[in-house]
Amino acid sequence: MRSPAANAESRLSLWLRVREYAVPPSMIQTATERRRVGDWAGACAAARVDVDLSLHAVTDRHGREVAARLRSDLRHLAPDLLRWHLPRVAPDGLLRPGLTVSLARYGPAGGAGAVHLVARTPPSWADAGQRISLAVWSGPGDDVRAHPHPRPDRRYRLDLHRHLWDARRAPELRARSGADRPADEAPAFGPPVPPPGYAVHRWPDEAARLLRTEDPAGRAVSVRLGPRRRLLLAADGTGGWTARPVRPGRVAEVPALPDAATWTSPDLDLLRHGLIEAERLHPLVASALAPESRPVPAVAGPPADPPGLVTCRGARHRIALVDGVLTALDHDPAEIRREELLAALTGTPLPCLRAVDEAHRRPGSLPEIRARLDHGDLAGAVATVEALLGPDALLRPGELRTELETAALRRITHGLFRAGLAGHCPPPSARDRRRTAPARRSRPRHAHAR
């Protein structure tokens, strides 16, 4: 069993990777510009969010009042901020697959007849591009047949945490995250085992907020600490709270504290541990947690440096981009053609040519390119490849080409899923094979939200 310190370190490492690759600065900049001019649909497109709702249909089905509230929320939706805060899974920090998250609820509190604005993530086998979809859900009739969990999840909900997606409420993050409290402050009540990473200080306030919404007459909520660990957090009638461990089945009917309220803010943890600079956070997050910070200008992705200098025939030779192609500068074209012909006849190529070939097949920046492709940042991945090999390079067979081809095929699979034409057992992708190595599987491992 891993120690609590190891678990905390693993969690911070995962979120640091997420912050590096999952929401590129260029996405944030474009989505913000479109949102500020009132183009909420354009902001969603920039943040790779598909809109599966119609305001006209909502008006016809649920009335003008619900449609007006929904329209107002969509105009202030920051889809890049939503992507920033959606639940993630280890080991790569990808979006939790097959999830339906309630963002806002219109209608009776906690009762039937409520209309939900929801965000959905596709199942793991169709998660190419890490796209999100927006829809309206008001009951079983709005379920999506191909989606494994089309109904709003009880554990993962953001309708009580609008500051995680609504630009108007983003400043609330500071108070809701406990950033004004000392990190070592003792909680006001004594939980049996206060594990690291859990927002124990916030539980009473968040529990009271949950009860006001779900069960005004209730006095207890459940807190999930693991697959088989629950705490029953109860008001003692004097303004205080008590906590005791219970079995999961004993709290099935008790309101569950949302995951966003259970854990501390990963950005706050990263800042307190000195693992990230405030300038690298989402601007709305940085302005709440570190008001003195300044946003960093958006870039398509950090360029990868070409090999540079290579020891060849006892001398240091240069390798650089010429006319959009990575080239050995210290060999004339005739010599390069001759050496390439010899290599094709099983000869040993020059070190310069070997360096160029290695950059095409398995460059040193391959892990970064792979991470960007996994998180859907195709523009960043292409920019990294072009900075390394040149925009006119013809990729050779190898791991780099395989990764790019696999990413393209996975996007086709996602398109078939969106159209309702894909089955549930596609062939394993390169990423699936990496995750399951060395064991071989005929079908990909399907990760579903629990």
Checking if the pLDDT of 87 tops 60, the result is yes
Task: Extract the tokens encoding 418.
Answer: 């969106």
pLDDT bracket for residue 308 (50, 70, 90): confident
pLDDT bracket for residue 432 (50, 70, 90): low
Q: Are residues 190 and 158 in the same domain?
A: no
Higher-pLDDT residue of 351 and 305 is 351
Checking if the pLDDT of 347 tops 80, the result is no
Task: State in Å, rounded, how far the first CA of the chain is from the last one.
Answer: 21
Residue range 43-83, pLDDT digits in tens: 999 999 999 999 999 999 999 999 999 999 999 999 999 99
Residue 213 domain flag: yes
Share of the chain above pLDDT 70, in %: 87
Report d(CA 447, CA 16) in Å as an integer.
22
Q: Are residues 16 and 132 in the same domain?
A: yes
What local confidence, expressed as pLDDT, does residue 132 receive?
A: 98
Q: Are residues 169 and 191 in the same domain?
A: no
Q: Are residues 163 and 246 in the same domain?
A: no
Q: Are residues 22 and 159 in the same domain?
A: yes
Checking if the pLDDT of 217 tops 80, the result is yes
Task: Extract the tokens encoding 401.
Answer: 């080409």
- Between helix 333-344 and helix 351-361 the angle, nearest 10°, is 70
What local confidence, expressed as pLDDT, does residue 299 receive?
A: 53
What local confidence, expressed as pLDDT, does residue 3 receive?
A: 62
Q: Are residues 103 and 223 in the same domain?
A: no
Checking if the pLDDT of 438 tops 60, the result is no
Higher-pLDDT residue of 23 and 187 is 23
Strands (E), 148-247: 220-226, 229-235, 241-246
Which of 306, 332, 274, 286 shows the shortest CA–CA distance to 390? 306
Checking if the pLDDT of 196 tops 80, the result is no
Residue 438 domain flag: no
Overall number of domains in the chain? 3
Q: Are residues 20 and 169 in the same domain?
A: yes
Q: Are residues 79 and 211 in the same domain?
A: no
What local confidence, expressed as pLDDT, does residue 297 receive?
A: 58
pLDDT bracket for residue 192 (50, 70, 90): low
Q: Are residues 252 and 328 in the same domain?
A: no
Residue 161 domain flag: yes
Report d(CA 87, CA 289) in Å as an integer.
20
Contact 146, 417 (CB under 8 A): yes
Report d(CA 310, CA 317) in Å as an integer.
5
Residue 108 domain flag: yes
Residue 367 domain flag: yes
Could you tell me the residue range of the domain that residue 253 belongs to?
A: 186-197+205-257
3-state secondary structure of 329: coil
Report the mean per-residue pLDDT for the chain.
86
Q: Are residues 118 and 73 in the same domain?
A: yes
Q: Which of 69-78, 100-109, 181-190 has the highest mean pLDDT?
A: 69-78
Residue 24 domain flag: yes
What pTM value is reported for the model? Answer: 0.87
pLDDT bracket for residue 112 (50, 70, 90): low
Per-residue three-class SS string for 170-213: HHHHHHHHCCCCCCCCCCCCCCCCCCCCECHHHHHHHHHHHHHH
Least-confidence region, from 139-148, 160-169, 266-275, 355-364 = 139-148
Q: Are residues 168 and 223 in the same domain?
A: no
Q: Are residues 35 and 162 in the same domain?
A: yes
Contact 207, 233 (CB under 8 A): yes
Residue 415 domain flag: yes
Which of 266, 274, 301, 207 shows the shortest CA–CA distance to 85? 266
What local confidence, expressed as pLDDT, does residue 436 receive?
A: 44
Residue 339 domain flag: yes
If you ran DSSP here, which 8-state letter would residue 354 be given?
A: H
**Which whole number is the average pLDDT over 411-421?**
91
